[in-house]
Chain A
Amino acid sequence: MAGIVLENVSKTYPGGGKAVIDFNLEIADKEFVVLVGPSGCGKSTTLRMIAGLEECTSGRIYIGGECMNGVEPKDRDIAMVFQSYALYRHMTVYDNMAFGLKIKKVPKKEIDRRVREIAEILGLTDKLKKKPSAMSGGECQRVALGRALVRQPRVFLFDEPLSNLDAKLRTQMRSEIIRLHENVQTTFVYVTHDQTEAMTMGDRIVVMDHGVIQQAASPREIYDRPANMFTAGFIGTPQINFFKANEIGASGSSDVIVGIRPEDLHLAPCDGAVIGSGNVEFIELLGASMNVHLSMNGHNVIMTCPVDNSIARGNTYEIWAEKGKSRLFDASTGLAIASKTEAEA
């Protein structure tokens, strides 16, 4: 049983920079939590504090109910996978995976059994004698995963593990890690700046910005009911469109911001309302769908729709917003206006 609890955790660097501010989060045992946010938002620092690689300036961190403040990383029973793989370059794949067990003085036979078992799962069996320099990035990251797995820790930490891989490999490894989580039944904490990774992998997503949790909820919840403008803008591609309420003829004053996702906009009449008319500036073809960039009263609007050859650059269309799909935010605080979420734009 190893849930993680972060209680009023803050991190201030000696220079005075605040990396994490009053962070509160409970991660259940066996949960897959993704910390996501732009670079410098404090997500990696949070992960490193859980690992014990950095001390928190104030607050407490519990793993499996025990307070971990002041506990050495090696005594926390955790494993971490780094973006740069952080493999021991002078050791073979086998030795890389066995290193932690050797340090813990696990019997040789047991080490051998565990390494071979994990190598089998990760498809590394025929690479055990190779050195990292002779392997591709994807293989290296798999070794890094293997090194974490053989130790059978209570908690797995991932620090942007897929960011150095190319797009195709990233998608493949993504599903592998999800499958791994199902197999090992352990708590996963995963840090990424890529919102697609966050949406597809996590049981729960924690969106961070400037060292503060913006929202912690399931991917569906985050997407459908973002707690504030930051979360709404950060999650979802293409980005959500923001309008001042009065600009699009919606009820409400100018200090209400309406957010409408690109897929909720249409160029043909639908069950909803017209928010204005826009001139098509350019079109990005994505294959099955396309992104249409329009200009509406000097405002850039993005919408996505299935490929439609009749929509052409330079044409002007009425823009329709689907009923019940717009989110309202308070312009001064940026927070979602919960009661009015269902209001018609």
Chain B
Amino acid sequence: MTDNINAAMRKRRRIHIAKIALLTLWAGVFAVLFLMPTVLTISNSFMSSTEITANYGSIFAVGQAGGRQFISERVNLKFIPDMVTFKQYITVLLKSPDYLFKFWNAVILTLPIMLLQVAVAAVASYGFARYSGKFRTFLFFSYIMMMLMPSQVTLVPNWLVSKWLGIIDTRWAVVLPGIFSPFSVFILTKSMKRVPKNIIEAARLDGANEWQIFTRVCIPSCKGALYSVLILVFIDYWNMVEQVLVLLTNPDKQPLSIFLSRINAGEISLAFAVATIYMVPPLLLFLHGEEQLVEGITYSGGLKS
């Protein structure tokens, strides 16, 4: 009798373990697919320029003059370099200022947008969360609409204003609309609304005015959401393309995100190193704040707050 029960239990356990193993295997397969592009980019950045040209020359050689290296007919996708070298990085960091310059362009466009958008949004989200009326509900609804509109729609008004203000083709044309993009307002309002009403009332009774309630009670309570919004805004603008194409056509001021896709054949060996350098800041932010990021994404699920 007990033997039977034990046997049944063992059987169920075996099935369970088999199921978990199978699911883990699947997760592993997906994980490899998800990680491959990133890992390949990084590992290829440690290859010598001869190796890169040998591997990928057939793709990027088009229009290349001179060079008499051996170029394979088909590409050869390699994970592990024949010989690890930091030569590409040294070239990028010390010998070709153009890349660093574009990297810097990305920084001075992204940082002000990130910091100011979140600052403006934090203040506004307190305004939305603290009091709701018909007008405010309507306003919040229009923010959601704007947030969801693709750039094809929002860039037209941005472009028009930039023309009027005479800031087209300057950094302001990208930065100013970026600061007022409604995305962070949306997530922060949801987070602010979760601050219990009683705590705000307690602060009022403690003598705090609205600004003190905001800075000393609400902001610390929304730390996680704030951090996650910072990360999300950063990656969005670090990656920007269409704003730049329309509002900032001067190539000297364009960020690395655009420039990377235009890298020419002669510099293909450097491209992987540059690409790797460019992904370092967002990846660091991600590894540091993954938990908060996940919390922020969860807040964005569902439009009603």
Contact = CB atoms under 8 A, between A and B. Distances in A.
Is A–B contact present in the complex under a CB 8 A cutoff?
yes
A86 interface: yes
B220 A86 contact: no
Contacts of B199: 86-89
Contacts of B19: none
Contact of A104 (B201, B202, B207, B223): B207
Interface in B195-230: 196, 198-199, 201-209, 212, 216-217, 220-221, 223
A78 B205 contact: yes
A86 B207 CA distance: 15
Contacts of B201: 51, 53, 73, 80, 82, 86
Interface in A92-121: 99-100, 103-104
Interface residues of A, number: 23
A99 B200 CA distance: 13
Q: Which of B204, B209, B221 has the largest count of A CB atoms less than 10 A from its CB?
A: B204
A103 B207 contact: yes
Contacts of A53: 201, 204-205
A90 B208 contact: no
B196 A90 contact: no
Nearest to B219: A90
B198 A86 contact: yes
A91 B196 CA distance: 15
Given A86-B196, A86-B199, A88-B199, A51 B220 contact: no
A78 to B, nearest CB: 7
Interface in B162-220: 196, 198-199, 201-209, 212, 216-217, 220
Q: Which of A83, A87, A88, A91 has the most CB of B within 10 A?
A: A88
B223 A79 contact: no
Contacts of A99: 203, 206, 208, 216
A147 interface: yes
Interface string A64-94: 0000000011100011101110111111000
A321 B217 CA distance: 59
Given A89-B221, A90-B220, A82 B207 contact: no
A142 interface: no
Contacts of A100: 205-207
A151 interface: yes
A74 B202 contact: no
Contacts of B207: 74, 100, 103-104
Contacts of A79: 205
A74 B207 CA distance: 4
B221 A103 contact: no
Interface in A294-337: none
Given A88-B217, A90-B223, A103 B202 contact: no
Given A88-B217, A90-B220, A90-B221, A147 B206 contact: yes
A91 B220 CA distance: 9
A73 B196 contact: no
Instruction: Pick from B196, B205, B206 the residue with the most CB of A within 10 Å.
Output: B205
A221 to B, nearest CB: 32
Contacts of A82: 198, 201-202
B195 to A, nearest CB: 9
Contacts of B212: 103
A84 B206 contact: no
Nearest to B199: A86
B193 to A, nearest CB: 16
A88 B198 CA distance: 10
B196 A151 contact: no
Contacts of A84: 196, 198
Interface of B: 196, 198-199, 201-209, 212, 216-217, 220-221, 223
7 contacts: A79-B205, A82-B202, A84-B196, A86-B202, A89-B221, A90-B223, A100-B207
Interface of A: 51, 53, 72-74, 78-80, 82-84, 86-91, 99-100, 103-104, 147, 151
Given A82-B198, A89-B199, 20 more contacts: A53-B201, A53-B204, A74-B206, A74-B207, A74-B209, A80-B201, A80-B202, A84-B198, A86-B198, A87-B202, A88-B220, A90-B223, A91-B220, A99-B203, A99-B206, A99-B208, A100-B205, A100-B206, A147-B202, A151-B206
